[in-house]
Each structure stands twice: as structure tokens, then as C-alpha cells.
Structure 1
Amino acid sequence: MRLTAEQIASFHEDGFLVLQDWFTPDEVDLLRTETYHEFGNDQPGRILEKNGAVRTVFAAHKSNDVFSRLTRLQKMAEPAAQLLGDEVYVHQFKINAKLGLDGDQWEWHQDYLYWLKEDAMPTPNVLSAVVFLNTVDDFNGPLLLIPGSQKMGTIDLDVEKKYQQLDVAESWKPTLTADLKYKISKRTLIRALENSRIVAAKGTPGFVVFFHGNTLHASAGNLSPVDRLSVFISYNTVANALQPIANPRPTFISERDFTPIAALPDDALLAPRNGHSSPQREQLASLAG
């Protein structure tokens, strides 16, 4: 599924693009079921809130066939390649829980700053595609974005001293918590809003937001009793592959296999699973290479 010229222009102007009804109810139901299944898996990529609730699960696409196919659907990978102008691979995959009354905030930040400083990603020609699996309203912590903020460029920030003292093996953890490692200051936020505004991405289950790596974004805590589940797929261009560094973050956070995606048809998400043979399954296997 290709984006129109108007949609591409809107993304480059605002730094994000909201697409309603991008996934069907059946697809959303499947993704939601698999999401709760992943929440129950105790593994290194599962990050908890301070109260013990699940906050984020990383890299489920490496072990879960449904999420693997999600990253390769034409309606996800093809728009990413259109917007970035090159072949893409998955740099990072995460499921954000934002559970009812338990989901904490995400402070204002730019994703690319983390990927530059922590992963040695050369340029901000990167984006995230977010699939929302519940209705998102004013009360359950909608994704907040500032239109045009990507035009400010990468906002360089220093790391607080408490993070500088962490052991190398633990230094990646503050990039994932409610108390983020690189915080946008109040002064910077005011500057970003001088000629813009804060927009809340809201919609019904199955809507998607594509946003640029330098777009300022945040979300408040979930003050409703309803979970707000979202799947983040961060697509990077093959030409923007990470540079070698000492002590890289775990690959479940920062992928270092830069093989470009072989796209699957949009109906592949609901394809037969569990090893059952079918002509459609064989076709998908050939498309995946």
C-alpha cells in the first residue's frame, strides 16, 4: 500500500503522518492477543514499571511469527521506504503497554538522539511506525507530537551525572524508563512551540502513526482503567546503518543486522500458521526469500 504524494508532503512538513483504519478489526484482535502473550514472557527485553507492571517488551518480532510478519507487511515497510527514500530494515521493535492506571509517562524526547549517542546511527533519516491496538482518547495517554519540530534538527543534550556513573552493562537501562536519560528542557519545549502546537494522536483500534526520528514526542500516564497498547516499529535505511562502537546496546534494543526487508502482501498477517502448508504460505515463504 503506497502513500500518496500529498501524504508524503504532509509527513515532511509536520514530521508525522496519522493513518486511520490502517488495520482491520481481525488484524487488531490478533495483534492484541499476541501482545498479551508476550507480556507474560519473562525475558531480557521485558521492561517493567516501578510498580511491577509491564512497560515495554522489545524484539518480540524475533520470536513471534505474527510480529515478524507485521514488520514486513507492504503497508508498513513500503510507506517507510517511501518516506525515507531508501530500502529499510528494522532497527528497533517494541510493544508499549501503557496499562490502565499503571502506564507511566514518556517524557518529551527525540528518538534519534538516543540512536545517535547510544548506537552510532549516522543521520536522522529514520522513522517509527506505531500501530495502536485500542481506542486512544484524551485520557489513556495519547502519543503527543509537535508538528514541524523535526526541522529543529537533533537537539544535543548532556547526560545527567547519575547516568554517567552507571556500569557499562547497566548504562542502556535509563534510555527506557519514565526517567529518561536525555531530557528536553522546558526552554527547548517553549522554543519548539513558538510557531507550532501540541497534537494528540487519537483514533480507533488499528490506526497508525509514522513519525520522523527528530520529531519531539511524549505521552502522559494512562489515567483511565483501559489499556492503551501500541506496537512501535522503527525503520532505518540500509544506507544509514549503525557504525561499529565499543560496548553496543543489546541487539534486542538496537539491531545490527542491516538486511533490507523483503515485503509481504498485506493479507499475510492473517495467513495460516503453525506449520500448516498452503499455496498462500508457500508464496509468502518465497517472497520472504
Structure 2
Amino acid sequence: MAIKTDFEFSEDLATDPEVLRGYNDQGYFIVRSLLNKAELTKLQKALDNDEGITKHAYAINDGHGRNTRMVLWSHPGNDITGMIARSQKVAGVSEKLLGGEAYHYHTKMIMKEPRTGGSFVWHQDYGYWYKNGCFFPDMMISSFIAVDKCDRENGCLQIIPGSQKLGRVDHVMVGGQTGADLERVEFAKKKLGVAFVELNAGDAIFFHCNLLHCSSANNSDRRRWSFILAYNRKDNNPMIPHHHPQYTPMTIVPNSTILECSDVPDLTGKDFLDPNNDKTVKAEQYPGPKSN
């Protein structure tokens, strides 16, 4: 029997046994239209504001001469990004999958600009988070929400379905990133195959922190922005104080608060990352897109 991993959004997503089956077996599931049109438009408007979150961006080199802008923060806050991070459709579903009280580990924006946005090497999120003193990978999850259409041309996510069952793979620095042992990656690709995660804006993929994934450079004339939320279970509180937060209680809010919150940018309390404090990446000042 084929394992279903592609779902349309519904309010009872967290209790759908097929969702849990897909996550446990394949390490991921896709939710189409996780954000509806109005929610997506509101998020895009907030992120396009130059005085908002993106002014805290820095660059990550891919080792091939390209950079990708990234910005990361520790606490959700009360703006549109915070309401999505604490919403039932994201935080509630994540908490249900993790099987216990969860907290917001961090949110990040990945911004691949047209023709210049770099690639991300094969890695597991736990390749980073293990070094942060998080000991139990089954207690950690990410939700990747497409702010723009993500396809093969502009560097969509690629995954190795079921690879979370391999456990943690050794990781080393590659360019400015932490990358998985390529010998193990090649074995996993031959054994399990590779899937391209093509998403429309507003779609999302939830995935286990040991799922191997990567993304290619953006060779298109379209930007490729994504909004990624990470959660950790309360009883997996990191053993090592580091650049992401220790357990901090999180109040999950109804999905309706996404549209009810203010449109005014509010960065209060988010605690944006200074990349100089992150030992798992090597960041640079973002040089801006190259002129054609």
C-alpha cells in the first residue's frame, strides 16, 4: 500500500492518521494551501517591507561563488510571522507530531534572489542541531512554507524520502554551510531515491530533522523565498546553551489570529541572530544581487 505524503489543508490535519503515517514512514508530508490567499498576501506584504525582518539578513556562501540571504530569529513575537509560527495549523500540527509540549526553536527566512541565489548542500537539520546539544532527534521538526512558487528552475527543495531512518549522518563544513557526508548521501540516494518538492506559494512541507535535503541554485528570473519554522519538544531542552533558545513556553493560537493581527511591522522580542555567534555556519555581509 502506497504511503500518502501529499495533502490538501484541512482543520483536522493534526488528527489525520494518514498524515502521521506519512511522517513516520517517509519523514515528511506536504500540505497544499497551508496558507490561504489572504494569509499569504499578508505575509508577503510584511516580508517585502524593507524596514522589517529582511533588514537583519546576512549571506551564506554555497562554496560555488554564490550567496543566499538568510535571516533567523529565536522568538515568534506578535506580528504576522509570529502568529503563523504559533498557529494551530503550524505549531499545533508540529506539536501533535512530536507527541508532547513543543516550543519555538527558531524561524528563518531563506531568500534566493533571481540568477544569484546559491545552493544548499545535502544536510540534515539535526546535523546542525546535534552540535547545539539537542539529544533526541525524534523531538524536533521543521515546517517549510513557500512564500514564492518553488520549482526545479528556481532551486526548490530536494529530499531523500525515508532517509530519517538512517539516523544522524556525520556533517562537515562546506563553504559557509554544514553538509552531510557525501558518501552516505550517495548511498541513500541510490537506495531511497530523490524527490523534488515543487510547491506553490502558500504550500508547505513538514519534515523530520533527520530527513536529508538540499536545494539547487536559483537559475531563474524569479526569486525563491521560503519561511521555515523549527520546533523542539520541551523535554529535549538543549544541554548546551547556544545561539538558539532553551525551552521557552509557547502559546498556540487559533488560525484566525493570522488575519486578525496588525499589519504594522513589529520586531519586538524576536531576538535576531548575530551570525558571528553561530558556529555551524560561516556568514558574510550580503553583497546584493549582481548586475546583469
What range describes the TM-score normalised by the shorter chain of this pair? Answer: 0.7 to 0.9
TM-score by length of 1: 0.79
2:53 and 2:164 mapped to 1: Cα distance? 36
Deviation at 1:273, TM superposition (A): 1.8
For the pair 1:91 / 2:91, whether they are aligned, the reply is no
Matched residue pairs, number?
A: 248
In angstroms, what is the RMSD of aligned CA positions? 2.4
Question: CA contact under 8 A between 2:75 and 2:106: conserved in structure 1?
Answer: no
TM-score by length of 2: 0.78
Distance 1:27 1:113, change over 3 A: same
Distance 1:63 1:89, change over 3 A: closer
Q: Residue 69 of structure 1 corresponds to which residue in structure 2?
A: 83
SS at match of 2:141: strand
SS at match of 2:224: coil
The C-alpha deviation readout for 1:206-254, integer Å capped at 9, x for no partner, is: 1011010000000001111111111000011011111134xx33xxxx1
For the pair 1:241 / 2:254, whether they are aligned, the reply is no
Question: CA contact under 8 A between 2:127 and 2:180: conserved in structure 1?
Answer: no
Distance 1:61 1:230, change over 3 A: farther
1:271 and 1:88 mapped to 2: Cα distance? 24
List structure 1 runs of 4+ shifted beyond 3 angstroms.
Answer: 38-43, 49-54, 60-64
Q: Which has the higher helix share?
A: 1
Question: CA contact under 8 A between 1:57 and 1:94: conserved in structure 2?
Answer: yes
Q: Residue 182 of structure 1 corresponds to which residue in structure 2?
A: 178
Matches within 5 A, 1:77-116: 77-116=91-130
Deviation at 1:36, TM superposition (A): 2.1
Q: Residue 136 of structure 2 corresponds to which residue in structure 1?
A: 123
Deviation at 1:56, TM superposition (A): 0.6
Distance 1:60 1:259, change over 3 A: closer
Paired letter, 1:70: I
Equivalent residue for 1:261, pick from 250, 256, 260? 250
For the pair 1:197 / 2:197, whether they are aligned, the reply is no
Deviation at 1:260, TM superposition (A): 3.2
Structure 1 unaligned blocks of 5 or more: 161-177, 276-289
Equivalent residue for 2:216, pick from 210, 214, 220? 220
Over the matched positions of the two proteins, sequence identity in percent amounts to 26
Equivalent residue for 2:58, pick from 47, 66, 76? 47
1:201 and 1:255 mapped to 2: Cα distance? 29
Distance 1:64 1:33, change over 3 A: farther
Distance 1:186 1:6, change over 3 A: same
